[in-house]
Amino acid sequence: MANKRLMLGNEAIARGAYEAGVSVVVAYPGTPSTEITENASTYEEMYAEWAPNEKVALEVGIGASVAGARTMVCMKHVGVNVAADPLFTASYTGVNGGLVLVVADDPGMHSSQNEQDTKFYARAAHIPLLEPSNSLEAKNYVKKAFELSEKYDTPVIVRLTTRISHSQGIVNLEDRIDYQLKPYEKDFEKNVMMPAMARKRHVVVEKRMDQIQKDSNALEENTIEYHDKAIGIITSGIPYQYVKDALPEASVLKLGMLHPLPQELIKEFCNTVEEVYVVEELEPIIEEQIKSWGITVKGKDLFTKQGEYSANLLKEVIGRKVLNLKKAEVLPNRPPVMCPGCPHRGVYHILDKLEIHATGDIGCYTLGALPPLQGIDTCVCMGASVSMVHGIEKARGKEYVKKWVGIIGDSTFLHTGINGLINTVYNQGISTVIILDNRTTGMTGHQDHPGTGRTLKGHKTHSVDFEQLVKSIGIQTVRKVNPFHLKKVENIIKEEVAREEPSVIIATAPCELLDKKKVVITANIDKEQCMSCGLCMEIGCPSIQRKNGVIEINDALCCGCELCVDVCPYGLISKEGE
């Protein structure tokens, strides 16, 4: 057992990269993919870094591949939208050292703003896609992906879903191969995608995909398990595990490569079994291709395109069993809230007090959309808050936007928010943007970024100065404030939204969870004097609770941030010992 370990799927992906001789790993953090790069950074043999966004990450990866290194780039599904521009052209240029893009989709939207199927991108960009169904396959498929990448001169996508990324399985550990960097040879016909060269490369891409499709029929990752031939199921990834649990007697064609599909192998399987089902979460990408070949299969006419599947679902739909499952208990409603001591809470409290609307963004501060704060009006994608508040101004005028601000976190501002602010300045907008700078990438688990002064490997580095950055693009007025100083926050917001020019407020205070050794002095309520007016509860702090009509502070949750001390108009809340 010494060479076996229990690993998360994401951990196994990192191990696969190590064993494949990968030199460079690049990513932007995004649940459920984040742990891949964090684990990769623990291997001294691999250089690993956080990029400011997924497009930059992939471009770094393409450069490393051109230089002859095996390179892995990681992101969640929505990150592929950001990286799509270089992705489509990398399909044309091909690779030197192997280039693998690992993408984690999120069926069920456990931590995402949409459900999106990366198989669409593989088809659209003409890039092969592999999908493992457990941790061991996650490791092995990464190694296989690098082999295919170099054999066919193409980037390869390895698709995960949340259940693969975050479930555990036994993985056998193997030695790292002695991969030597490939020599770099200047080849502008291959690497410079001007129209004349790109037209030639498109032909190469089509021939490449035709060859991969032929070869995929014999690919060992595409396997048939014949049992009872009355029912045949074509599936892949985590749905394969549901099939084996729910229908162990059925014959199964398990696809390891989902693009391109092994047409001859699928025809052979469909001709052998009596009734064929396609079990795939999200979009009917496999099903529609098979039907386009004139083969009758059942799929989305029986199954939803939404969320995750389960073994019980397959037992009911394909097995035609009445399970009479006990209905889930109705649990108390526990909406997600900001952490006790979160520095964003004070800003939202003031915005609510001033009745100012906010275009929001992706991050912890999205939690401020819920009652009682209800601090943001919109949330679309990374960086959209800055651009959207500018669009609101252009639609409704300068006076109207004085009741709006754009709100964005520090990591997200560096991701794609800066572009929107440049646009506001360029197009003479006047909107106010608040950067909620908590000194980390909070929502995904405290990853560093170019503003924190530390690299993924823990080395000290230059820290972006947000004030100097926004001034350099033309913002004349930049105000810095501690978000716990409520009166200052209120005065600054009033002044800036009234200003007839674009401005930025930088509200800086570290995430409460960053300092694990912090000595906490909790707050107390004078219960004898408290009138239970409830004003302190309007800040939405989980540590402030009303029990039997009496408001009290839970010492186990209180972080001593003093926000409630400032909010109570009667001075009945104080720090312990004061």
Q: 499 and 527, same structural domain?
A: no
At residue 423, does pLDDT exceed 80? yes
Question: H or E stretch including 162?
Answer: helix 162-165
Domain closes at, from 217, 236, 256: 217
Q: 241 and 186, same structural domain?
A: no
Give SS3 for 306: coil
CA distance 49 to 64: 13
Using alpha carbons only, what angle is made at residue 176 by residues 41 and 57, rounded to the nearest 5 degrees? 35
DSSP string of 38-98?
HHHTT-TTSEEEE-SSHHHHHHHHHHHHHTT--EEEEEEHHHHHHHHHHHHHHHHH--SS-
Q: 159 and 242, same structural domain?
A: no
541 is in an annotated binding site: yes
Is 334 a member of any domain? no
Query: What is the arrangement of strands in the sheet containing 228-235, beginning at the earlier edge strand?
Result: 223-225, 250-254, 228-235, 275-279
Amino acid 456 reads L
Kindly report, residue by residue over 437-457, the tens digit of the pLDDT: 999 999 899 999 999 999 999
Domain closes at, from 156, 185, 217: 217
**pTM for this one?**
0.92
342 is in an annotated binding site: no
pLDDT of 548 reads 87
339 is in an annotated binding site: no
Q: 454 and 530, same structural domain?
A: no
In whole angstroms, how far apart are CA 180 and each of 22, 214, 316, 482?
10, 30, 52, 51
Q: 541 and 503, same structural domain?
A: no
CA distance 414 to 477: 19
Cα–chain center distance at 92: 26
561 is in an annotated binding site: yes
Domain span at residue 466?
A: 343-508
564 is in an annotated binding site: yes
At residue 81, does pLDDT exceed 70? yes
Supply 503's token pair.
Answer: 């401005």
Is 329 a member of any domain? no
Is 337 a member of any domain? no
CA distance 243 to 168: 18
At residue 77, does pLDDT exceed 90? yes
At residue 1, does pLDDT exceed 60? no
Q: 398 and 462, same structural domain?
A: yes
Arithmetic mean of pLDDT, 315-323: 92
At residue 339, does pLDDT exceed 60? yes
Instruction: Work out how many domains the chain is built from and give that number.
Output: 4
Is 515 a member of any domain? no
Domain closes at, from 202, 217, 232: 217
Q: What is the CATH number of the domain that holds 73?
A: 3.40.50.970
Is 290 a member of any domain? yes
Inter-residue contact 393 to 500 (CB < 8 Å): no
**Cβ within 8 Å of residue 540, ≥6 positions away:** 337, 338, 345, 348, 370, 371, 372, 373
pLDDT of 148 reads 98
Kindly report, residue by residue over 14-33, the tens digit of the pLDDT: 999 999 999 999 999 999 99
**Cβ within 8 Å of residue 435, ≥6 positions away:** 408, 409, 410, 413, 417, 466, 504, 505, 506, 507
CA distance 391 to 397: 10
At residue 273, does pLDDT exceed 80? yes
Give SS3 for 473: coil
Q: 294 and 423, same structural domain?
A: no
Is 365 a member of any domain? yes
Kindly report, residue by residue over 487-545, the tens digit of the pLDDT: 999 999 999 999 999 999 999 999 999 988 888 888 989 988 999 999 999 999 999 99
Of 515 and 347, the structure prediction assigns the larger pLDDT to 347
Q: 447 and 303, same structural domain?
A: no
Q: What is the CATH number of the domain that holds 540?
A: 3.30.70.20
Q: 475 and 393, same structural domain?
A: yes
Q: What is the CATH number of the domain that holds 275?
A: 3.40.50.920
Is 53 a member of any domain? yes
Q: 173 and 37, same structural domain?
A: yes
Phi, psi dihedral angles at 251 (to 5 degrees) = -80, 145
pLDDT of 312 reads 95
Of 482 and 368, the structure prediction assigns the larger pLDDT to 482
Arithmetic mean of pLDDT, 131-147: 98
Token match 């199921």: residue? 233
Q: 61 and 31, same structural domain?
A: yes
Q: 271 and 415, same structural domain?
A: no
